[in-house]
Amino acid sequence: MATIGAVSEAAAPRDALARARQRAALIPDLLVEARRVVNTVIAGWHGRRKRGIGENFWQFRPYVDGEAIARIDWRRSARDDHTYVRDREWEAAHTVWLWADPSASMFYQSKTASVSKESRALVLALALAELFSRSGERIAWPGLTDPFSARNGAERLAAQMLHADALPPRPDLSLIKRFSDVVLISDFLDPVEETQTWLDDLAMRGVRAHLIEISDPAEEEFPYSGRTEFRDPENGLKLTAGRAEMLRADYRNLYTARREALAVWARKLGWSYTVNHTDKLASDALVRIHLAMSAGGN
């Protein structure tokens, strides 16, 4: 994805295989960091258990006129003068798809950021995998894994990443079925129309998406001045500005307009849009995603 604010300090490797190897080297440490982040939010995180069709016991509750007599639990009802129904836990065939942008622009890290955009995106993806797995959800990564359910979901996902070849800049989302959730983590710096075209099919199929924009503070603030060389990490094109500060106002307007347009479009579809800065806590994004998914229901 073309990055607007990537300067020479962000000399990211452009070879896809080299990026894959660099990513694999980071995975063990990022998994540890993801679990640390999870431990800061797990107390407020809950699954989506509720009453419905299933095999596991949920609760006893008073019988209501009109309900099927077969649902009455006569053993429990015999204990007192009330008639009780045994409710079972709702079990939904639900999958949460996770994806973190592997493109070259995600390697960017300015001097004011604590981590690169890629590191933050992978930590969030693995943290979400850990949280959803603990909650009993199925998780998947388009183009990398089929949906699966396991308590060690984040570890299994990390193992797949360690042995994966270079991943495409954009995954095939056609296998994501209706009523699924998909969390897409990227800098979303492509033209808004391109991003919308890519994701339109998800909306038409009834998939609910949650977009997490990873932003480096320098990309947002444009702190450059004087003679500055900017380089596109995707294609190597360079732009030299004699007085970079003269571009600041126009750049900020374009950067903000892109974000606002995507956020408005996403919310019209009933999706969520979250911004996470690489000089801020990763847990902030997890809390927002949890609120968005809980509010949306299923």
Instruction: Inform me whether the pLDDT recorded for 146 exceeds 90.
Output: yes
Do 151 and 250 fall within a single domain? yes
Whether residue 231 is contained in a domain is answered as: yes
E-strand stretches of the chain: 57-62, 84-88, 95-100, 138-141, 145-148, 181-186, 208-215, 228-231, 238-241, 272-277
E-strand stretches of 187-261: 208-215, 228-231, 238-241
Instruction: Inform me whether the pLDDT recorded for 23 exceeds 90.
Output: no
Instruction: Inform me whether the pLDDT recorded for 147 exceeds 90.
Output: yes
Amino acid 100: pLDDT: 96
Q: Residue 171 belongs to a domain with what CATH number?
A: 3.40.50
Q: Which residues pair with 87 in a beta bridge?
A: 59
Question: Which carries the bigger pLDDT value, residue 163 or residue 193?
Answer: 193
Amino acid 16: pLDDT: 65
Amino acid 258: pLDDT: 98
Q: How far apart are CA 174 and CA 202, in angstroms?
A: 8
Do 76 and 118 fall within a single domain? no
Domain edge (last residue) among 65, 88, 111: 88
Instruction: Inform me whether the pLDDT recorded for 91 exceeds 50.
Output: no
Over pLDDT 90: what percentage of the chain? 54
Find the mean pLDDT for residues 192-218: 95
Do 136 and 194 fall within a single domain? yes
Total number of residues shown for the chain: 298
Instruction: Inform me whether the pLDDT recorded for 278 exceeds 60.
Output: yes
Do 196 and 245 fall within a single domain? yes
283-296 and 117-134 helices, crossing angle to 10°:
50
Do 79 and 215 fall within a single domain? no
Amino acid 84: pLDDT: 81
Whether residue 180 is contained in a domain is answered as: yes
Whether residue 35 is contained in a domain is answered as: yes
Find the mean pLDDT for residues 89-106: 79
Instruction: Inform me whether the pLDDT recorded for 163 exceeds 90.
Output: no
Evaluate whether 117 touches 278 at the Cβ level (below 8 Å): yes
Do 214 and 120 fall within a single domain? yes
Do 66 and 152 fall within a single domain? no
Number of domains in the chain: 2
Question: Which carries the bigger pLDDT value, residue 3 or residue 170?
Answer: 170
Quick one: how far is CA 245 from the chain centroid?
34
Whether residue 249 is contained in a domain is answered as: yes
Residues 6 or more apart in contact with residue 77 via CB below 8 angstroms = 63, 83, 84
Do 167 and 66 fall within a single domain? no
Do 123 and 175 fall within a single domain? yes
Domain containing 65 equals 57-88
Tell me what the pLDDT averaged over the chain comes to: 84
Question: Sign of the CA dihedral 148, 152, 154, 157?
Answer: negative
Whether residue 1 is contained in a domain is answered as: no
Amino acid 57: pLDDT: 52
Do 75 and 161 fall within a single domain? no
| CA distance to 85, 238, 286, per residue, from 9 (Å) | 66, 13, 29
Structure-block tokens of residue 155: 């570890």
Amino acid 52: pLDDT: 43
Do 145 and 80 fall within a single domain? no
Domain edge (last residue) among 67, 88, 109: 88
What is the pLDDT confidence band of residue 87, given thresholds at 50, 70 and 90?
Answer: low
Do 16 and 157 fall within a single domain? yes
